[in-house]
Chains A and B, each alone.
Chain A
Amino acid sequence: MPILKVEAVTKRFGGLEALRDVTFSLYDGQIKALIGPNGAGKTTLFNLMSGMDRPTAGHIYFGGKDIGRLAPHQASRLGVGRTFQHSKVFDDLSVLDNVKVGRHAKSTAGLLSAFFTLPRHRRDERSISEHAYHALRRVGLEAKAEEPAGGLPMGERHVLEIARALATEPRVLLLDEPAAGLNNEETDQLAESVRRIRDQGITVLLVEHDMGFVMDISDEVVVLDYGRKIAEGPPLMIQNDEEVIRAYLGEDLN
């Protein structure tokens, strides 16, 4: 049974159709990529999966439950983690505090515990710290824990977003252009991180323009064009799909 299933999803913004009748599935332990030219509807789909927006028609099932109409925090609590194409790091918080926010739903200390630093608050804070450090170690950012997040270079900002999402203990991780702004070496490190994350039992769906990265890392690729799914399959098959090549108008898929 697929962990995430997009079923006949259509999304319209006024008269503009961003997604039309898109269907595909994501299986446990997969790394799957979502590619397509700009404006193909990739981020829109991410937004629907993470509760930021609602499909006009169709359903999104996560572990058998329709999550298409949930609020973002509900989707997150069910186990959908995500990062953003345009960095949404909390700039003036430290790297560590950024990740600590990711532990929000996994801890419970409320207002009174916080006001009076009751034992529950202290217990929570210890566990939050441990998990946050753990998440930073998973992406190799622990050395910068105390630095202000706003000072990180572009690539590391995205890595921080990954750590933050990992802290929520997601079952599915949605990565929106994680390799943007990375050099070759950093891209390789990122690929390594993503594989490690998958090996730890987290299913990954990523949007990416770096075709080398996509073809290298993905088990399967879904291609969107003008809001429609035009192909789905293993990287080798996608690279030789005529419709895909036509959609990319000669862009080098290798």
Chain B
Amino acid sequence: MVAFLRRHVAFLAFAVVMMGLPFFTSNTYYLSVLAFTATRLMTSLGLNLLMGQAGQISLGHAAFVGMGAYGSAILTTRFGMNPWLAMVVAAVVAAVVAGIIGIPTTKLKGHYLAMATLGFGEIVLILLIQVKSITKGTDGITGIPSLAIGNLVFTQYNPRAMHLLLWGVALLMLRMSLNLADSRVGRALKGLHRAEVAATSLGVDATFHKVQAFMISAVFASIAGSFTAHYVQYISPGSFTLTFSVLLVTGVVIGGLGSIWGAVWGTLVMMILPEYLKQYEDATNLVFGILVIVIMIFLPGGLVSLGSALGKLRTRVGGRDRRAADTSDPGSLEGNARRPGGAA
């Protein structure tokens, strides 16, 4: 029992805090920010698996969130499908699409991979805007029904129930991600990321596992999109732009790719910081963009590396010659092939 607690203390503490929050505030605005934070966390966790564990890059993940949101919206409003079932169907579609484009995509690396996924995201966005007969174009889809279990309906007007539902799912996904990282599949992904040739020489099927990771991250994103659609009850293509994809990636990277917890801290920062920056109005994005650059330059390992970075700084200031415990730079997915000054 003690061992169990020690192993899971961080997760349990976080879960208790998040699930307990609605009982300390009834401010609907705070609760709505937290609800969006939960759905963002779902997407971030998938991206963290894809990027942090498997070493892939996706600049098109808004497309998968969009597939979930639009899938749910279209299936429920047009075909009267049960929202829960619609969510599952949308996630399956997202997984299939991810599987199909994942096979050629995951053969690419570095900038090429980033640009291919970006192109995919833009194509999906243009389809969402242009195929008006199904998506209603830029008008968006209104009247998306709420999720319900029996008589319990999850709406904005019932923020506590909504909070518990969204955070319950987000925490489940966090637990699943933590479990995966410490498993046979998780280690295979980490191996592929660190040294692909070595991992394959040990029997790891690179294509299979990369595509699988791509599919998982697509499913997480799609589910997040479905929840958002049912929560807001209205969606339009403007929510699924490249900017959104980039924000998703930025959150995950700022949090730190070295650990699943990076997705958590990154999401919290990305969702809460802009709320504070709102006072700067138009300059919000300017301040935000600069903050992102500063974090990346001074903390390439992300927020989860803050502790060890401070430790290093202290040793440097203290002048003691202690070998830094953490020499890895999880921010460097693919070592830049041609570094000036580096060994060729």
Interface residues of chain A, those whose CB is within 8 Å of chain B, are 50-52, 71-73, 75-77, 81-82, 84, 88-93, 97, 100-107, 109-111, 113-117, 121, 124-125, 128, 150, 161, 164-165, 167-168
Contacts and interface: CB of A to CB of B under 8 A. Distances in A.
A61 B82 CA distance: 57
Contact of A115 (B179, B199, B206, B330): B179
A73 B184 CA distance: 15
Contact of B184 (A77, A84, A124, A165): A124
B340 interface: no
A254 to B, nearest CB: 33
A72 B194 contact: no
B212 interface: yes
Interface in B195-250: 195, 197-206, 212, 216
Contacts of B184: 100, 103-104, 107, 109, 114, 121, 124-125, 128
Contacts of A77: 203
B221 to A, nearest CB: 16
Q: Which 8 A-B pairs have the closest CB atoms?
A: A105-B203, A114-B183, A88-B198, A72-B200, A90-B194, A92-B328, A76-B203, A88-B195
A1 B290 CA distance: 67
B206 to A, nearest CB: 7
A50 to B, nearest CB: 6
Contact of B203 (A73, A110, A121): A73
Interface of B: 176, 179-180, 183-188, 190-191, 194-195, 197-206, 212, 216, 258, 327-328, 330
A110 B180 CA distance: 10
Contacts of A111: 180, 185, 212, 216
23 contacts: A72-B201, A73-B200, A73-B202, A73-B204, A73-B206, A75-B201, A81-B201, A101-B188, A101-B202, A103-B184, A104-B187, A105-B203, A106-B203, A109-B185, A113-B183, A115-B179, A116-B179, A117-B179, A121-B184, A150-B327, A150-B328, A167-B202, A168-B203
Contacts of A164: 198, 202
A124 B188 CA distance: 14
Contacts of B194: 90-93
Given A110-B185, A114-B184, A114-B185, A101 B179 contact: no
Contacts of B328: 91-92, 150
Contacts of B190: 90, 93, 97, 101
A92 B194 CA distance: 8
Given A77-B203, A114-B180, A101 B197 contact: no
A75 B204 CA distance: 11
Contacts of A124: 184
A154 B248 CA distance: 39
A168 B202 contact: yes
